[in-house]
Structure 1
Amino acid sequence: MIYLAFFLAILVAVVQISASMRETQATRDFPPEGRLLDVGGRQVHAVVMGTGPDLVLIHGASGNTRDMTFSLAPRLAERYRVIVIDRPGLGYTDRLNATGATLTQQAALLRDTARQLGAERPIVMGQSYGGAVALAWAAHYPEDLAALVLASAPSNTWDTGLGTFYDVTSSRWGQALIVPLITAFVPKSVVENAVEAVFAPQKAPKGYAEYLGAPLTLRRVSLRANADQRANLLSEIKDLIPLYGDITVPTEIVHGIADTTVGLQIHSEKLVHQIEGAVLTRLPGIGHMTHQVAQQAVIDAIDRAATRAVQRGG
């Protein structure tokens, strides 16, 4: 029994040390791209580029600012002042709590960050989970944005399960035992396969996987934060739906017809009727990563939202 306890103690130590080493390497290889701000006593990482109307871009699950700065933000910076912010627990933004920051809490933090950067009423664009955060921003703080753009965003309820990965990584035992193992030992090929899967039926742009900084997402703090947020998403969406009728800003929705991650019919096909004046652009053959593989369609939606906001006097 003593030998078993000794062996387990050594094993735990090896896993934790290996995880720490990989996390150190991740931050060395992928340092912050932008500014580290103090927002309400918490560190928030934000990248700002370009000049023009203020535009906030919100990344999805398991992401960070690099998802947006790979190519979308630089293109938009030609005529917008683009602000890209790491969501809580991801990239270089601190976690808000140990239970998973809610959509509303994340929206409040991002709104406060944008304000600190001088953007009082930005256009807000969110992709995938980031679109749900953008919806919470528009629903709870309607006076604090000029327009709303959603790309492949979850917005209504679904009846499928959480999935094995999130079931495990959002559980107490999974966060204590499995998450450190993932951080310490998951091979690069697993990350590459996950990236390819989320892009299906398209392929990831050349250089995207290397640029994204997936090792940042594999840190223990980020795996736990992302799992908690994903586990809480369905119940938070249920609470958000009754507020869609209160969204009055110009709203543009872009969604791929071939998206199997966030289904068009379950989400955006309903949302377009829940927000007055919303416009839905359906993209034939396009999967979940619209902002990468159908980038011009997303840029066009942002431009339309900006024009509508000006016409509205926003």
Structure 2
Amino acid sequence: MRTVIPTRSPRGPSALQTAALLGVAGLAASFLYAQAKQRSAERDNPPQGNFVEVEGVRLHYVERGQGDTLVLLHGNGLFSNDFDLSGLLDSGARPYRVIAFDRPGFGYSDRPGKLDWTPEEQARLFYQALHKMGVERPIVVGHSWGTLVTLAMALNYPKYVRAITLMSGYYYPTTRADVPLMAAPAIPGIGQLLRHTVAPVLAAMLWPRLVKRMFAPAPVPERFQELPKWLALRPGQLGASAAETAMMIPAAKRLSERYKELTLPIAVVAGNGDEIVDVHDHAIRFHNEVRHSELIIEDGVGHMAHYADPARIMEAVGRLEASLTPGGANLRHSATIHSSSTELH
């Protein structure tokens, strides 16, 4: 008698295996899409300025105008093109030689991984780069995270920097719920995977909301739409942005312990509607601690204060320069508030 053993039909992949395959396929699709968008952005937006190399780090910068030097340092997530679109580059180029850098890892500047690129390290790099470019005694203007680098330059090279203007700065360590999420692409291993796959795609989807928050309560200027967002969403720049988000609070803590050392002329600019950095916790507190600073509060303006009125910012820079001359303007604890409802204390 013959025994017949029924054959089993082959089992399909488990739900877990299917999910894993779909996940890998999604990551691959995200990688290919992001790579294509980034190549297109670089092809359509090649570097427009020049390069200077310091200690093996290649820095990109845009230069306009003649005269005394005004250095512009952008905030986190953007690059020197931001100053062009805001009009500050052209406004500054009328009386000054303006140099707008791409900070390390942003735009077309290198960011070697051998350093943490704290504000102090970046200040040292720009100090050396400006010396190599023949610049002496510049006025430095920083926006947002760039204010930390500006402050580090003023504190570490007080005989070199003539004066500083700080726009929408983060000056003191405060609790930030957004830091863990925004810093994720900087995590070793998993962060590298994220910024080469899903992070650029997610950031592109969130871009309109993020931009709206940066400018709120003011509307987003049409000219800002010209900023090539996919240059800002490249893996290297996402990694640099995430790293700077992670180091922002400790950097502010270190630097704030030294603000009493500041003696050079300082202008502080902020929007009273800033949703990124609270004006009372930072700009007004800084102004009250650094008693010789000038404070300018813009009514109805958000984090991107340099878009509201570039000419007014240049007027503040001019007052700083005038205060350096014998018999010049006295800026001690002065405040200009373009809102009757804004309180200083």
TM over 0.5: yes
C-alpha distance in structure 2 between counterparts of 1:135 and 1:241, whole Å: 9
Aligned amino acid, residue 301 of structure 2 = I
- Structure 2 CA distance for aligned equivalents of residues 28 and 178 of structure 1: 24
CA drift of 1:206 comes to: 1.6
Return the alpha-carbon distance in structure 2 between the equivalents of residues 307 and 156 of structure 1.
29
- What is the TM-score when the length of structure 1 is the normalising length? 0.90
> Distance between the aligned counterparts of 1:109 and 1:267, measured in 2?
26
Answer yes or no: is 1:86 the counterpart of 2:102: yes
Q: 1:240 maps to which residue?
A: 255
Match of 1:116 in 2: 132
- Percentage of pairs with the same residue: 29
Higher relative contact order (CA 8 A, sep 6+): 1
One-letter code aligned to 1:233: M
Q: Which entry has the higher C-alpha Rg, 1 or 2?
A: 2
- SS in structure 1 at match of 2:221: coil
Cα offset for 1:218? 0.2
2:52 matched residue in structure 1:
37
- Partner AA of 1:51 in structure 2: Q
What residue ranges of structure 2 are gaps of 5+ in the alignment? 1-12, 329-345
Paired residue for 1:23?
Answer: 38
Structure 1: give runs of 5+ residues left out of the alignment. Answer: none
**In the superposition, relative to structure 1, how do residues 105 and 158 fare at CA in structure 2: closer, same or farther (>3 Å)?**
same
For residue 224 of structure 1, give the secondary structure of its aligned residue in structure 2.
helix
Deviations 1:131-187 (A, max 9, x none): 111111111111121101111111112123234531432333551332223455348
Q: 1:279 aligns with which of 283, 294, 297?
A: 294
Q: Distance in 2 between matches of 1:38 and 1:99?
A: 16
The Cα offsets for residues 54-76 of structure 1, whole Å up to 9 and x where unpaired, read as 10011001010100112110121
Q: Which residue of the partner structure matches residue 198 of structure 1? A: 214
Q: CA deviation at 1:274?
A: 2.9
1:256-291 deviations in Å (ceiling 9; x for gaps): 111121111111112113335111122222211110
Partner of 2:117: 101
- Kept in 2, the 8 Å contact 1:46–1:86? The answer is yes
Worse-superposed segment, 157-166 or 59-68: 157-166
More divergent stretch after superposition (160-169 vs 190-199)? 160-169
Q: For 1:151 and 1:312, how far apart are their aligned partners in 2?
A: 27
What CA deviation, in whole Å up to 9, does each residue of 1:202-253 have, x standing for no partner?
A: 112222122x222111000100111011111101111111211111111111
2:307 alignment counterpart: 292
| Aligned-pair Cα RMSD in Å | 2.4
Which whole-Å CA distance do the structure 1 matches of 2:187 and 2:284 have between them? 32
Q: Distance in 1 between matches of 2:35 and 2:325?
A: 49
- Give, in whole Å, the separation in 2 of the partners of 1:311 and 1:60: 34
* 3-state SS in 2 of match to 1:310: coil
